[in-house]
Structure 1
Amino acid sequence: MRLHGPTGGELHVLLALSQGLSGMESAGMLCISEPTVRTHLQHIYSKADTTRQADLLSLLHGLTPPVRGDAH
């Protein structure tokens, strides 16, 4: 599963959801409507070839490089 070409708005919604925010909370934080959040999610689902939010978040976490401390 890969996420192909998310728009800026789609990426913002995905990142908000990855922080544990609900759709309504994401909408408020991003100053957009809930229907806009749902539309972005539908587009993301299509691009990621999935229908589950958990799969999207797993994909996002798989793309994010781990943070490591400096050994110095």
Structure 2
Amino acid sequence: MLLITCPTTGADELVADRHARPVADPRTRPGVVAVAVRCPCGGDHVYLTGRRIEEARARVACGRRADRRVPA
């Protein structure tokens, strides 16, 4: 079961796993993780899992470590 927020109604909906399917193929588009879900409102909604966002945040955090001292 998945708990989603319907963008149409704004309500939280509980959806069975069988109503979810992958949208982006990780073999052809690495880093893109998306799922299309058949919502009880009757529409299909696409949700990003956040993997790509979290990886980008981690890269930025590693790049701007101002609290470390660099030897001269």
> What TM-score do you get using the length of structure 1 for normalisation?
0.25
> What TM-score do you get using the length of structure 2 for normalisation?
0.25
- Give the strand-richer structure, 1 or 2: 2
**Higher normalized contact order (CA 8 Å, seq sep 6+, divided by chain length):** 1
- Give the helix-richer structure, 1 or 2: 1
